[in-house]
Structure 1
Amino acid sequence: RMLGESEFGLYSLSASVIGYLAILDLGFGNAITVFSAKYAASGESEKALRLHGTIFSVYLVMSALVLLIGALVIAYADAIFGAKLSGEEIRKIRIMFALLSLNLAVSFPFSIYSSILTAHENFVFIKLIAILRTLLLPAIAVPVLLLGHKSVAIVACATAVNLFCVAADFIYCRRKIAPRISVRNFDAGVLKQVFSYSFFIFLGMIVDQVNWSADNFILGVVAGTTVVSQYSVAAMINSTFITLSVTISGVMLPKISKMVSANSSDAELTAEFIKIGRLQFYVIFLICSMLIIFGREFIILWAGAQYEISYTIALILVIPVCVPLIQNLGLSILQAKNKFRFRAIAALFMTFLNIAVSIPLAKLYGGVGSAVGTALSLVLLNITLMNFYYHFKIGLDMAKFWLNIARMLAPSLLAVAIILPINYALSLSGAAYLLVCGSLYIAIFTFIAVKLVMNDYERAIFGAALAKIRSRL
């Protein structure tokens, strides 16, 4: 709201374009986590030294490449965006590209420390830094906005916050784990082994980046910054939804890697898949249903009435992604088993479909059209193809998984049926509506989940969490 549609569109456009450079990670961050976890479990410290030295060397090359590509984009910004952006907008986007390129170039080599922390399951520190990153940006950016600065200043703030968090990971990892990382430990054989593992994860990263960022780029070319800003509000909600939903599955890769190394059976992996999927369901159903019920009012209050269309775009993006988010542990199983190839190749074809459909739809229907193209590719890949692949090729019992989810869905919908007439009867609006009715809905959903949906394991987790909260009050 404080940036305005044009400035926010510039900010979103620069972030989406620079995001493509982030895929130069080549999937090595994931490889570090998987291989480091295995080496730590087996005590193979010498292999870990060669792994870390090799990937650190590659990251230094990637940093140089990021700076080169960033310089080229800056130099040819007129040719790329000149049809829809003004001269002043081009000037600003060049500055933002420079800041973001520098940010990414510094982040690459130091990201190895975050991956090592993940492999050693230092999740408390990792999540604390993630929370700090989330809180610091608005804490710094809002005063900057109040002083009258715009999108360039916000990118500068984001760069400063990211570099601070990167430094925190580096210092903590050096003190806690003290990995010996040196380019002298580069090993071409290790690079070949790691790349053979990470290539299809890298391909998957490309696909995911295109699927989530292509719409902003397409809209920037065919529709201008106002439509980009409307889409970006919805994309921000979708991104936050995805971030919140992976808080559980996001810490499971080291454990799954160790299970696969120990030759755990398909039945054991299915049990873990169902256990985590059920926990994911509570988070995903609650947030998605709150978006459907309260999202329009929230977006109008947060971003302004001119962004009401963002509510429709957000629903188109969020609802199809619920299924793969419930099944997110499946991706960790694929990575640990080195079976990511099918998902990456299938997703690549779906990306072509997404772009082919999104371009004409964006010209006709703006942000809504682009979102429909993205949603279509998500449904075909993540809901249809991947469920068959998990069941018939990976050995996960998907019928048993979906039977569990189906049994959870019906009583959960009861909470929606209860809150809708209450919302109508109270007839509130604005912040009061969101606070009163939103809190009431969370309470109703929690009560129904505990009494009708949760099993003993889940009630024990919920009870332990409540006990920990009470002990600190």
Structure 2
Amino acid sequence: MKISQRKTGVALSYAGELVKVLVNLVYTPVMLRLLGQSEYGLYQLVYSVVSYLSLLSLGFGSSYLRFYSRYKAQKDEDGVAKLNGMFMLIFCSISVICVLCGIVMIGNIRGIFGTGLTESEYATARVLMGLLIINLAMTFPNSVFNCSITAHEKFLFQKLLILLQNLFSPFLTLPLLIMGYGSIGMVSVTTFLTFALLLSNMFYCFKKLHIRFAFKGLKIALLKEMWVFTFFIFLNQIIDQINWSVDKFLLGRLAGTTAVAIYGVGGQINTLYLQFSSSISNVFVPKVNRIVAESNDDTQLTRLFTKVGRIQFMVLGLILSGFIFFGISFVKIWAGPEYGASYVVALLLIIPVTVPLIQNLGIEIQRAKNMHKARAVVYMAIAIANVFISIPLIKLMGPAGAALGTAISLVAGNVIFMNWYYHARIGMNMIYFWKEIAKFIPALIAPCVAGMAVMKYANITGLVQLAAFAIVYTVIYAFSMYFLGMNSEEKQLIVGPVRRILRK
């Protein structure tokens, strides 16, 4: 049943991401034109500032599965109930703190954004900040229910909910944009959907999973142990916030909202890319924690790490190579000619992040083994360096300079350091991992030749023409991967469901 849930979860994850991409292809260009470059840049700027309040979670959400797995292995249901109660108290307290911090931020909005905004932009920014703070405050208690659903490996419900959210968001937002409500209408819809998601998760957890909350007899020693474990996850969250949000803040201070908008489009492409990688690895998190809790078998973990990494590489390889060949045409057609510079921003972000994305199950292995401290410390130093590198690069190159500073930090920390750390300290056989990834090289030759031919000889000017070339490229990539790249187990993941459908 759990294997079926994992397979269905992976399928729904990719379906959700595919729907999100298709919806964005239609929705984003309309949204950009209705908002205008300046207001879109303002929205991105406010969002990047408010997102820092997500650090109030202190990394506690990521520790739930580790402690849940421990209690389940001991068959301690009372321990699970107390764990749920402790997490709920923690996150409800964080929600209150989030709102209080938000009130202070709104009162000091001129000090936060400096002199880079007009009076009307300051007024809009206050409303956006208020709505985004309410939205964020609701995500904290929701994370308790969401973690519980993940721990029970009920991926069908979880991924279906995300799929519906991706569908409803643009359909509810567009009428408000057309009516002239702008970015405020857009954020109002996001807040409403977050509330609906919270209610749905609560209903499922209480009615279907029958989870219990115990608020008496909470163990202070457990809280101390959780804090020691989560502190370094908290550092990683700070690092992610610096790497993915500080660029917009620096651009807003140094270059204005138009530069933020150009970076924002490239960043949005990078965000979609990041989500595609986590679609499969997320459903294996409970299995990783179970292996570590029961046997801590490094060979078994390496095989799982490599298996997931290969599948992620096949998916991300298609997206990355396709974007390299068709990205400049895509960005100009999709977002508009004025966003052409976003292509370079997106490339500088997604190329270096590809290596850690195919290895992101390793983050969960580190946490399950409680060996994530060194990564956090090294990444923190690199993230701080990223800020100091990005400032002169922004003055020199604008949005591309901000992305280049992030790219340098990603290569230093996520590629060079982490591969050494996985092999030398965590126990992963990275030589085996990279040998398995290198087996895909012959399968990449045909698609790359086709892509370079299109770049050289084709003049893509419309969305239909772009879609036609993209479909042909995808077919070439898929056939090349199937016959030259996939192993027998990976082929069975495709052939098995097809055979079952044909039999029916």
Residue 422 (structure 1) shift: 5.1
| 2:93 aligned with 1:61 | yes
* Cα offsets for 1:235-256 (capped at 9, x unmatched): 0000000001111111111100
Distance 2:324 2:199 in 1: 39
* Cα offsets for 1:18-48 (capped at 9, x unmatched): 1111121111111112222332343111111
> Structure 1 residues 208-217 or 181-190, which shifts more?
181-190
| 2:480 aligned with 1:448 | yes
The question of whether the paired residues in 2 share the 8 Å contact of 1:223 and 1:366 is answered with yes
Residue 183 (structure 1) shift: 3.6
Which of the numbers 301, 306, 315 marks the counterpart of 1:269?
Answer: 301
For 1:296-315, list aligned pairs within 5 A. Answer: 296-315=328-347
In the alignment, residue 352 of structure 1 is paired with which amino acid? Answer: I
Question: Secondary structure of 2:35's match?
Answer: coil
Distance 1:464 1:69 in 2: 52
Distance 1:231 1:394 in 2: 36
| 2:74 aligned with 1:42 | yes
* Cα offsets for 1:215-268 (capped at 9, x unmatched): 011111111110000000000000000001111111111100000111232222
In the other structure, the counterpart of 1:126 is: 158
In the other structure, the counterpart of 1:458 is: 490
Which of the numbers 69, 75, 80 marks the counterpart of 2:107?
Answer: 75
Distance 2:213 2:484 in 1: 51
* Cα offsets for 1:326-351 (capped at 9, x unmatched): 11111110011011101111110011
In the other structure, the counterpart of 1:330 is: 362
> Structure 1 residues 154-163 or 180-189, which shifts more?
180-189
The question of whether the paired residues in 2 share the 8 Å contact of 1:82 and 1:90 is answered with no
* Cα offsets for 1:123-165 (capped at 9, x unmatched): 1111111111212111111121122221111111111111111
Distance 2:493 2:113 in 1: 51
The question of whether the paired residues in 2 share the 8 Å contact of 1:50 and 1:190 is answered with no
Distance 1:385 1:124 in 2: 36
Distance 1:441 1:177 in 2: 44
In the other structure, the counterpart of 1:282 is: 314
The question of whether the paired residues in 2 share the 8 Å contact of 1:56 and 1:183 is answered with no
Which of the numbers 197, 200, 219 marks the counterpart of 2:251?
Answer: 219
* Cα offsets for 1:81-107 (capped at 9, x unmatched): 131011111111111111111111122
The question of whether the paired residues in 2 share the 8 Å contact of 1:277 and 1:326 is answered with yes
Residue 425 (structure 1) shift: 5.4
Question: Secondary structure of 1:247's match?
Answer: helix
In the alignment, residue 478 of structure 2 is paired with which amino acid? Answer: T
Which of the numbers 155, 163, 168 marks the counterpart of 1:136?
Answer: 168
Residue 411 (structure 1) shift: 2.0
Q: Which runs of 5+ in 1 are unaligned?
A: none
In the other structure, the counterpart of 2:192 is: 160
In the other structure, the counterpart of 1:91 is: 123
| 2:199 aligned with 1:190 | no
* Cα offsets for 1:379-409 (capped at 9, x unmatched): 0001100000000111111111111111212
In the alignment, residue 35 of structure 1 is paired with which amino acid? Answer: F
Distance 2:217 2:285 in 1: 26
Residue 424 (structure 1) shift: 5.3
In the other structure, the counterpart of 2:377 is: 345
Distance 2:446 2:420 in 1: 30
Distance 2:450 2:131 in 1: 49
In the other structure, the counterpart of 2:6 is: none
In the alignment, residue 109 of structure 1 is paired with which amino acid? Answer: P
| 2:287 aligned with 1:255 | yes
The question of whether the paired residues in 2 share the 8 Å contact of 1:37 and 1:120 is answered with no
Which of the numbers 354, 364, 371 marks the counterpart of 2:386?
Answer: 354
| 2:229 aligned with 1:229 | no
Residue 374 (structure 1) shift: 0.4
CA 1:233–1:418 in structure 2 vs 1: closer, same or farther (change >3 Å)?
Answer: same
Q: TM-score normalised to the size of structure 2?
A: 0.91
In the alignment, residue 399 of structure 1 is paired with which amino acid? Answer: I
Residue 290 (structure 1) shift: 1.3
Distance 1:26 1:232 in 2: 26
In the other structure, the counterpart of 1:18 is: 50
Q: TM-score normalised to the size of structure 1?
A: 0.96
> Structure 1 residues 188-197 or 153-162, which shifts more?
188-197
The question of whether the paired residues in 2 share the 8 Å contact of 1:9 and 1:225 is answered with yes
* Cα offsets for 1:293-319 (capped at 9, x unmatched): 111111111211000000010000000
Q: Which runs of 5+ in 2 are unaligned?
A: 1-31
CA 1:421–1:221 in structure 2 vs 1: closer, same or farther (change >3 Å)?
Answer: same
* Cα offsets for 1:321-375 (capped at 9, x unmatched): 0000011111110011011101111110011111011112112221111101100
The question of whether the paired residues in 2 share the 8 Å contact of 1:230 and 1:309 is answered with yes
In the other structure, the counterpart of 2:434 is: 402
Residue 67 (structure 1) shift: 0.6
In the other structure, the counterpart of 1:434 is: 466
The question of whether the paired residues in 1 share the 8 Å contact of 2:42 and 2:121 is answered with yes
Residue 467 (structure 1) shift: 4.3
The question of whether the paired residues in 2 share the 8 Å contact of 1:423 and 1:437 is answered with no
In the other structure, the counterpart of 2:235 is: 203
The question of whether the paired residues in 1 share the 8 Å contact of 2:82 and 2:215 is answered with no
In the other structure, the counterpart of 1:319 is: 351
CA 1:242–1:380 in structure 2 vs 1: closer, same or farther (change >3 Å)?
Answer: same
CA 1:224–1:396 in structure 2 vs 1: closer, same or farther (change >3 Å)?
Answer: same
Residue 410 (structure 1) shift: 3.4
Which of the numbers 151, 160, 183 marks the counterpart of 1:151?
Answer: 183
Distance 1:99 1:342 in 2: 37
Residue 470 (structure 1) shift: 5.9
Residue 464 (structure 1) shift: 2.7
User: What is the percentage of aligned positions where both structures have the same residue?
Assistant: 37
Distance 1:381 1:425 in 2: 38
In the other structure, the counterpart of 1:392 is: 424
For 1:415-434, list aligned pairs within 5 A. Answer: 415-421=447-453, 427-434=459-466
Distance 2:61 2:272 in 1: 22
In the other structure, the counterpart of 1:174 is: 206
Residue correspondences, number:
472
In the alignment, residue 37 of structure 1 is paired with which amino acid? Answer: S
Distance 1:468 1:107 in 2: 39
In the alignment, residue 129 of structure 1 is paired with which amino acid? Answer: L
> Structure 1 residues 385-394 or 105-114, which shifts more?
105-114
Distance 1:467 1:73 in 2: 57
The question of whether the paired residues in 1 share the 8 Å contact of 2:325 and 2:454 is answered with no
Distance 1:7 1:65 in 2: 29
The question of whether the paired residues in 1 share the 8 Å contact of 2:329 and 2:460 is answered with no
| 2:282 aligned with 1:239 | no
Which of the numbers 336, 356, 380 marks the counterpart of 2:412?
Answer: 380
Residue 179 (structure 1) shift: 1.4
The question of whether the paired residues in 1 share the 8 Å contact of 2:447 and 2:480 is answered with yes
